[in-house]
Structure 1
Amino acid sequence: MNGKKILFVSSELMPYLPENQVSQMSYETPRMVNSKGGQIRIFMPRYGNINERRHQLHEVIRLSGMNLVINDMDMPLIIKVASIPKERIQVYFIDNEEYFKRKATFTDENGTLFPDNDERAIFFAKGVVETVKKLNWSPDIIHVHGWMASLVPLYLKEFYADEPLFAESKIVTSVYNKGFDEELDKDIVKKIGFDQIAEDKVGVLAAPNYNNLLKVAVDYSDAVILASEEVPEELTEYVTGLEKPVLSYVPLQEFEEAYTNFYNNEVLK
């Protein structure tokens, strides 16, 4: 991985959110690449339940300040950064008061999905790409973790299709065990359509559930990792039916060699 540039886009990341499979692999994978001489950037949403003081988040004024249009509304983009101390890894946080100030990640106190999770996912996807453009940093690989990040491949291949910075970038999506049981807002297709992405590109999101969201992600990815031992059967069958490289599940203690070989021999070939 020496010298390779890898952009990690994650829904959740340790130590900023509790440990689960997504947050753990979103931490372990960049840590591994970093240790092997790769260059990394990590992006995640700045949820309101992340303790800014404890983790020493601070706003990056030179990157903040633009507005993103989401469903015909101007939404200010704020960029914050922090470092994972023992790894010397910097993390970029995509923030917006309307979408991310609430003191929770995906659901309210009753465990119900926030009604604007679809708009939050669109904002996150566009916010990551716009910030990387400002950084003028061209990644060799863009590795997506978690459903809140699952619109990134679609937006890169459609909305930002003519952006030269990503012309050579390869997209990898890690598919995890089911992330939620409900559906996102039914108008998600219209909201994506506002960005001139044709309805037939995301027709499966007429039923905006977890499986269909991940189908869109893998459709627009160059390679896929089955990152959980138990991935929904519908998704496993869908992924294995695609004509693109797929890495089957490997346990944490074996992932470093497997992911490195997959990056080098399947994704970057």
Structure 2
Amino acid sequence: MKIFFISPEVVPFSKTGGLADVAGSLPKALKEIGHDVRIYTPRYKKVPSDLKSVTREVKQGAIPKTEVVVYFYENEEYFGSREELYQINGVDYPDNLERFSAFCQAALPFLKEIDWRPDIVHANDWQSALTIAYLKTIYRDDPFFKRTAAVYSIHNMGYLGLFPKEKLLLTGLGWDQFVPEKLEFWGNIALTKAGFVYADVINTVSETYAQEIQTVEFGHGLDGLLRFRSSDLYGIVNGIDYDLWNPATDPNLPKRYNVATLSLKVQNKLELQKQNNLPQRKEVPVIGMINRLTDQKGLDILAGAIEDIMHLNCQLVILGTGDPKYHEMLKRLKNKYPEHLGINLKFDALLAELVYAGADMFLMPSRYEPCGLGQLISYRYGTIPIVRKTGGLADTVKDFNPKTGEGTGFVFEEYSSAALLQAAKRAIDTYHKKTLWKALQEKVMQLDYSWDASAKKYVSLYMKALAKIGIVPM
């Protein structure tokens, strides 16, 4: 199968969030099972320009250590001269619609120019969604794309690609699109609707989130449209790169380990405690948290529980940046509880690896979480997740039952400080039952959330998209 994978960000070239990880990993996994996948993405300033020219507008590179082709759309004004991807100093670029319209408008003519007919055009998030609208309107009767189906993936419903209606014609589409059944959204245009309305199938990054976005609470005003398209809406949990996230081979860990040498994990814990100026005590449970410090990620309920957690004879290490009010709160609490709290108000990839390896538990108290990768990485490192039951967390973490040994973490459902605190208490109580805890660690380290498993589900999704346009793949 030929798959044209369109993404505004791709690891290791560009990244603001989890989409970049998906775009850098899923095509690699699809390639490994025999599919011809090619990525299309902008060439931002941070991407080297000494790439092979394919056409006047497109250069070619590859995902490192793979044969996955990456096509970089060249536009110096819109992408090559920009320091960041979508915004600068927290403010969106005012010409984002023009930028990503140009990116999408160049995609399908490029395929014709190189004479490469994809079976699937797979667009991701609002920045890529217009490509699907073009495929189904402007190129609807073009024989070149007669056998091409469209898949649209939404990675976070919080970002709809909202712009003033006055900019509609700049997309290359006409005023016939400015109706509620198409791109209009409360007097504006929402570019994500180009994907939701026109794709043959839609997917998001977990089965539970696929259900949640059809509700008023999580649908961001598009729940009605998504309910209308519910028969074409699927959820596939993201994978993680098991070559990258591997405690047995991770070159950045003080001490590497695997399931058979789990007792060596504690050496990473001692280093984590040391780096956070915490007492180096093997027996004290350490809870790690790597997150944006925002309400969406549960910082509001953590704020109401954190002082009680400090009295549970544990240590909490937090890595991330976000809302200034949470920065101030954590600095104040660090002064109050210097032996219990480690605060790192930054993003640090090496420290993140040490948190996954050195912590005993990993906290994700999210209000909503489309998929979540932290819990999957923590499994890999034998670090037990404490999560709220929402989105991908609900699909991937099952509550631990000490009587039966079933479950993979500690789950709370009510979005409250009290529920979070109770889950933390249960985790810490279980931690002190060493035989039970070790068995739980061994179990989660052997779970399979690799991209290999997810890639097979995407192939099935692509088959459904082709079936929608009347094609049964051989």
Change beyond 3 A, Cα 1:121–1:181: closer
**Does structure 1 conserve the Cα–Cα contact (< 8 Å) formed by 2:164 and 2:188?**
no
Query: Any conservation in 2 of the 1:7–1:40 contact (CA below 8 Å)?
Result: yes
Q: What is the CA deviation profile of residues 214-269 of structure 1, one whole-angstrom value per residue up to 9, with x for unaligned ones?
A: 222111100011126655423455324216422124242252232222223x2233
> 1:257 is aligned with what amino acid?
K
Letter in structure 1 aligned against 2:228: G
Specify the SS of the correspondent of 2:150. strand
Does the 8 Å contact 1:6/1:141 carry over to 2? yes
| Cross-structure match for 1:242 | 229
Q: Please give the alpha-carbon distance, in whole angstroms, between the structure 2 residues aligned to 1:57 and 1:128.
A: 18
Report whether the alignment pairs 1:43 with 2:36: no
Out of 69, 80, 86, the residue aligned to residue 65 of structure 2 is 86
Contact conserved, 2:29 with 2:455, CA < 8 A, in 1? yes
Shift of residue 178, structure 1, vs aligned partner: 3.9
Amino acid corresponding to residue 104 of structure 1 in structure 2: E
Partners of 1:248 and 1:46 in 2: how far apart?
29
Corresponding residue to 1:204 among 185, 207, 218: 185
> Where do residues 66-81 of structure 1 align in structure 2 (5 Å cutoff)?
78-81=57-60
Aligned to 1:213: 191
Is the CA contact (8 Å cut-off) linking 2:122 and 2:152 kept in structure 1? yes
1:2-13 matched pairs, under 5 angstroms = 4-13=1-10
- Counterpart mapping for 1:1-269 below 5 A: 4-18=1-15, 20-48=17-45, 50-52=46-48, 56-60=50-54, 63-64=55-56, 78-100=57-79, 101-108=81-88, 110-178=89-157, 180=159, 183-192=162-171, 194-196=172-174, 198-200=176-178, 201-204=182-185, 206-208=187-189, 212-227=190-205, 232-234=218-220, 235=222, 238-242=225-229, 244-252=231-239, 253=449, 254-264=453-463, 266-269=464-467
Q: In structure 2, what is the Cα distance between the partners aligned to 1:167 and 1:113?
A: 37
Aligned-pair Cα RMSD in Å = 2.4
Higher relative contact order (CA 8 A, sep 6+): 1
Per-residue CA deviation, residues 45-97 of structure 1 (Å, 9 max, x unaligned), is: 1122x2306xx53433xx11xxxxxxxxxxxxx21111122112110011112
CA distance in 1, matches of 2:131, 2:201: 14
Where 1:267 maps in the other structure, the secondary structure is helix
SS in 1 for 2:87: coil
| 8 Å CA contact 2:169, 2:175 repeated in 1 | no
Residues 247 and 195 of structure 1: CA distance in aligned 2, closer, same or farther (over 3 Å): closer
Contact 1:10 1:42 in 2 (8 A): yes
Relative to structure 1, the CA distance from residue 227 to residue 140 in structure 2 (aligned partners, 3 Å threshold; closer, same or farther) is: same
Q: C-alpha deviations, 1:161-197, integer Å up to 9, x for none?
A: 23211111110000111454884344221323x5546
Question: Could you report, residue by residue, the CA deviation over 1:86-133 in whole angstroms, capped at 9, with x for unpaired residues?
Answer: 11211001111221121111002x211111111111111111111111
In structure 1, how many angstroms separate the alpha carbons of the residues matched to 2:186 and 2:108? 22
After superposing on structure 2, the runs of 4+ consecutive aligned residues of structure 1 that deviate more than 6 Å are none
TM-score by length of 2: 0.47
CA–CA separation in structure 1 for the residues paired with 2:36 and 2:6 = 14
| Counterpart Cα distance in 1 of 2:103 and 2:69 | 18
Give the structure 2 partner of residue 74 of structure 1: none
Give the share of equivalent positions with the same residue, in percent: 28
Give the gaps of 5 or more residues in structure 1. 65-77
- The Cα shift of 1:41 comes to 1.6
For this pair of structures, how many residues does the alignment match? 242
SS at match of 1:92: strand
Report the equivalent of 2:408.
Answer: none
What is residue 67 of structure 1 aligned with on the other side? Answer: none
Tell me the distance in 2 between the aligned counterparts of 1:222 and 1:181.
19
Structure 1 residue identity aligned to 2:85: T
CA contact (8 A) 2:126 2:160 kept: no
Amino acid at match of 1:165: F
Q: Deviations over 1:6-65 (max 9, x none)?
A: 1101111111013632111112221122111111221001122x2306xx53433xx11x
Determine if contact 1:115/1:185 at 8 Å carries over to the other structure: no
Q: Highest Rg: 1 or 2?
A: 2
Question: What is the aligned partner in structure 2 of residue 68 from structure 1?
Answer: none
